[in-house]
Chains A and B, each alone.
Chain A
Amino acid sequence: MLPKVPDRRGHFGPYGGRYVAETLMPALTELERAYAQARRDPSFRKEFQHSLHQYAGRATPLYFAERLTEKLRGAKIYLKREDLCHTGAHKINNTLGQILLARRMGKERIIAETGAGQHGVATATVAARFGLECEIFMGKEDVARQSLNVFRMKLLGAKVRVVEGGSQTLKDAMNEALRDWVTHVRHTYYLIGSVAGPHPYPMMVRDFQSVIGKEARRQFLKAEGRLPDYLVACVGGGSNSMGLFYPFVRDPKVRMLGVEAAGRGLRTGKHAASILGGEVGVLHGSKSYVLQDERGQIRETHSIAAGLDYPGVGPELSYLRDRDRVQFVSATDSEAIEAIKFLAEVEGIIPALESAHAVAAVMRLAPRLAKHRTVIINLSGRGDKDMTTVGDYLGVRL
């Protein structure tokens, strides 16, 4: 049986912790205390549940993908439809939880980083809902490839700060958000969107996202009368995968598969597979697997899915990988595109490029499994935001 993690100091075995500038340490302690109080407070839990239900539109369906199952001629496949959440992805679960916390803490200003723009949109959404000032940091390259989400954030009243440093993607957006936080730490709440960052973020984001797995578990038991054989989710920073996996971690028979972004191929070096291609290191406040060069400098990454284009991964996923609790595979850009087309054609569902990585892995896995085996894919987001990117890839001008 796996021990309960993290420990008191935010360590998941050798991973996690708090590697930040001194100025932020008191803020993290304050956040940790506020969260510990909130999670024990029935009124906070009630408010969170109510918001998930009334505002985010939960519970999301666990949908039996009948035609997908038929076409792949193997395991029975279910989709956890996080794409049906308000704002179009699972990100809203976490932003609702954290904004309620920020309000309890009396913070006036919310900042967040974003890659694909889904977390940015989800943050701008809840900031608008609760009337808080909001600034979103986004890499210049991501602003270009996710212009629709940039417009959505602005429409929601958020300021979008374009980050021009480094590779101009998610990692650089997070660097800049951390710089802003250290400067305005007294009245600003940093709403991290993944199970990454310093303690307590990896634990807290996991807890807020684990509503996905709790629901899926209940729904699956009701539909099939047993637990699923496989859970499959894409892994960038890891929030949708931890959300699905966590409520099953202590069920040893349920196998878990994390799908990393292989970009143009793991051998090309142009990928974002931190666990499969990285080494242990420290990035953005915690110890985990990190894509880095022989000097310990962080490497530039590539994935067609902006939300996976990140050189790090949540510390708990590194921990679960070392303990062989989660297996990791990867899917390339072109496999993700194929998966989008396939799912669109056979199920009438267009997944986000990120989630398409999980679908791609199942397209390889399912045919090898017997028909009585079952798989849940976390369909973490919908693909509307990606239509320009997919069109470009396929040579179609929109």
Chain B
Amino acid sequence: MSCIERKLAELQKRGEAALIPFVTAGDPNLPTTLKILRALEKGGADCIELGIPFSDPTADGPTIQRSSERALKNGLSLPRIFQLVRQFRRTSEVPIVLFGYFNPIFHYGLENFCRAAARAGADGILCVDLPPEESAELKRWTDAEGLDLIFLLSPTSGPDRVQLVAGKGRGFIYYVSVTGVTGARQALDVQLRSQVARVRRATSLPVGVGFGISTPKQAAWIAGFADAAVVGSALVERIEKAKGGAEKARCAGAFVSELKRAMKQVAKKS
């Protein structure tokens, strides 16, 4: 069992769902991201998705597009992200998933990337534009380095794709809550509960839900039927608005603890 799976199983035993915040590495700079990561942990993050910025993020809405642009403008590169993970690992055991697009990883070299990511202390890789069909080579190296290669499912995925991802996925299955790009949303699909149930029947892996979750209330609702809730754009927006590194970290931490508190209350009720 991997670090991520262990963490989620632990929470499951307590009847709790995991909170997985997403932040873009290097937005607006690496020292700030390190402060933010520490604040997220303190606020109650159970696992963290660290975004690798890409120039052409076709699965992302405006918030994460802007955040990637800021990070890239400051010259962010993969070696510097590995350095960030290494620094964070010195004081923290919170599992980290590197979340990004395939080209920067491919360009770095799949073997080199996986080795460097594992050595730095990352636990999982999620490539939003790499479906299982194209993943054989990357998976060879994530397996070799003991990293979880996490796949996504969406409301358009039929039973055949649920089977495919259930068979190849590690860590958890990332269920995309909406047909669309990332971004905070007013309302989530009421059918989400039954859609997640459909995926859970097909796999023993934990199922996390992401895309569009933006309030404590929504996170709490997700916690009622999924193993994890991923919150990205809503958090990145708060970081964007806050001025200065310390304030950004404080806002991020406060928001995450608010989310976590709401999710825990659901656990107590059920």
Within 8 A of B (CB), among A2-29: 9, 17-27
Q: Known: A23-B179, A284-B58, A297-B72. Contact between A186 and B156, CB under 8 A? A: yes
Considering only residues 115-147 of chain B, those with a C-beta below 8 Å from chain A are 128-131, 133-134
User: Does B58 lie within 8 Å of A297, measured CB to CB?
Assistant: no
| Inter-chain CB contacts under 8 Å: number | 110
Beta-carbon contact of B179 and A185 below 8 Å: yes
Q: Take A19-B134, A23-B154, A183-B180 as given contacts and tell me if A295 and B161 are in contact as well, using a CB distance cutoff of 8 Å.
A: no
Residues of B within 8 A of A185 (CB): 156, 179
> Contacts A23-B156, A23-B179, A183-B180 hold; do A296 and B103 have CB atoms under 8 A apart?
yes
A302 smallest CB distance to B (angstroms): 16
Q: Is B32 an interface residue (CB 8 A)?
A: no
Q: Is there an interface contact between B77 and A26, defined as CB atoms closer than 8 Å? A: no
Question: A interface, how many residues as a size bin?
Answer: 35 or more
User: Hey, which chain B residues are within 8 Å of A298, CB to CB?
Assistant: 55-56, 103
Minimum CB–CB distance from A93 to chain B (whole Å) comes to 27
Chain A CB within 8 A of B246 CB: no
In angstroms, how far is the closest chain B Cβ from the Cβ of A321? 19
Q: A166-B55, A182-B180, A281-B103 are contacts. A21–B133 as well, Cβ < 8 Å?
A: no
A106 on interface, CB distance cutoff 8 Å: no
User: Does the CB pair A21–B58 fall under 8 Å?
Assistant: yes
B214 contacts partner chain A, Cβ-Cβ < 8 Å: no
From A26, A296, A298, name the one whose CB has the most chain B CB atoms within 10 angstroms. Answer: A296
Q: Answer yes or no: A94 CB below 8 A from chain B CBs.
A: no
Interface size class of B (residues with CB under 8 A): 35 or more
A284-B57 Cα distance, complex, nearest whole Å: 10
Q: Is A51 an interface residue (CB 8 A)?
A: no
B176 on interface, CB distance cutoff 8 Å: yes
A20, A21, A165, A282, most chain B CB atoms within 10 A: A21
User: Does B59 sit within 8 A of A, measured CB to CB?
Assistant: yes
Is A290 engaged at the interface, CB distance under 8 Å to the other chain? yes
A23-B179, A26-B157, A186-B156 given; A295·B107 CB < 8 A: yes
Cα A179 to Cα B56 with chains together (Å): 11
Q: Quick check: is B225 within 8 A (CB to CB) of the other chain?
A: no
A297, closest chain B residue (CB): B55
> Shortest beta-carbon distance, B14 to chain A, in Å?
30
Contacts of B153 in A (CB 8 A): 22
Question: Is A32 close to B, CB under 8 A?
Answer: no
Q: What does DSSP make chain A's interface, helix, strand, loop or mixed?
A: mixed
Q: Please provide the chain A residues from 63 to 81 with a CB less than 8 Å away from any CB of chain B in the complex.
A: none
Contact B104 A21 (CB under 8 A): no
Nearest-Cβ distance from residue B186 to partner chain A, whole angstroms: 15
B65: chain A residues within 8 A (beta carbon): 165
Question: For B76, what are the chain A residues with a Cβ–Cβ distance below 8 Å?
Answer: 295
Residue B102 CB within 8 A of the other chain: yes
Chain A contacts for B180, CB-based, 8 A: 23, 182-183
Residue of B102, B107, B130, B157 contacting most chain A CB atoms (<10 Å): B107
Chain B residues with CB under 8 A of A17: 133-134
- Binary interface encoding of chain A residues 162-180 relative to chain B, with 1 for a CB under 8 A from any of its CBs, else 0: 0001100001100100110
Interface residues of A in 172-201 (CB under 8 A from B): 172, 175, 178-179, 182-186
**Do A20 and B131 have beta carbons less than 8 Å apart?**
yes
Q: Is A215 among interface residues, defined by CB-CB distance under 8 A?
A: no
Contacts of A292 in B (CB 8 A): 103, 107
* Contact, CB under 8 Å: B102 / A282: yes
Verify B103–A282 contact, CB threshold 8 A.
yes
- Whether a CB of chain A sits under 8 angstroms from the CB of B105 is yes
CB <8 Å contact, A290 and B156: no
Q: Are A22 and B103 within 8 A (Cβ)?
A: no
CB distance from B101 to the nearest CB of A (A): 8
**A133 on the interface (CB 8 Å rule)?**
no
Q: Considering the complex, give the chain B residue whose CB is closest to the CB of A27.
A: B156
- Chain A, residues 271-296, CB within 8 Å of chain B (1/0): the string is 00000000101111100001010011
Is B229 part of the binding interface, using a Cβ–Cβ cutoff of 8 Å? Answer: no
CB atoms of A182 and B59 under 8 A apart: yes
Chain B residues with Cβ below 8 Å from A19 are 102, 129-131, 134
Query: What are the residues of chain A within 8 A of B157 when measuring CB–CB?
Result: 22-23, 25-26
Inter-chain contact B151/A22, CB cutoff 8 Å: yes
CA distance A321 to B152 in the complex (A): 34
Residues B181 and A295 in contact, CB atoms below 8 Å apart: no
Q: Is the CB of B181 within 8 A of A183?
A: yes
CB distance from B194 to the nearest CB of A (A): 18
B78 within 8 A of partner (CB): yes
State how many angstroms separate the Cβ of A12 from the closest Cβ of chain B. 14
Task: Output the nearest chain A residue to B128 by Cβ-Cβ distance.
Answer: A21
**Given A26-B161, A182-B59, A296–B134 Cβ distance below 8 Å?**
no
- Please, how many angstroms separate the alpha-carbon atoms of A184 and B181 in the complex? 11
Q: CA–CA, A178 to B77, complex, Å? A: 25
**A23 and B76 alpha carbons, distance in the complex (Å):** 29
Give residues of chain B (144-186) contacting chain A, Cβ–Cβ below 8 Å: 151-158, 161, 165, 176, 179-181
Task: Report the separation of the CA atoms of residues A179 and B57 in the bound assembly, to the nearest whole angstrom.
Answer: 9
B156, chain A: closest CB distance, angstroms: 5
Return the CB mask of A251-277 against B: 1 if under 8 Å, else 0. 000000000000000000000000000
Q: A23-B157, A25-B133, A175-B58 are in contact. List 13 more A-B contacts (CB 8 A).
A: A21-B154, A22-B131, A22-B152, A22-B176, A25-B131, A166-B56, A179-B58, A179-B61, A184-B179, A281-B106, A281-B107, A282-B103, A284-B56
Closest 5 CB pairs of A and B: A296-B107, A296-B104, A183-B180, A23-B154, A297-B55
Please list 9 pairs of residues, one from A and one from B, whose beta carbons are closer than 8 Å in the complex, sorted by A's number. Answer: A17-B133, A21-B129, A23-B157, A25-B156, A179-B58, A179-B181, A282-B103, A292-B107, A298-B103
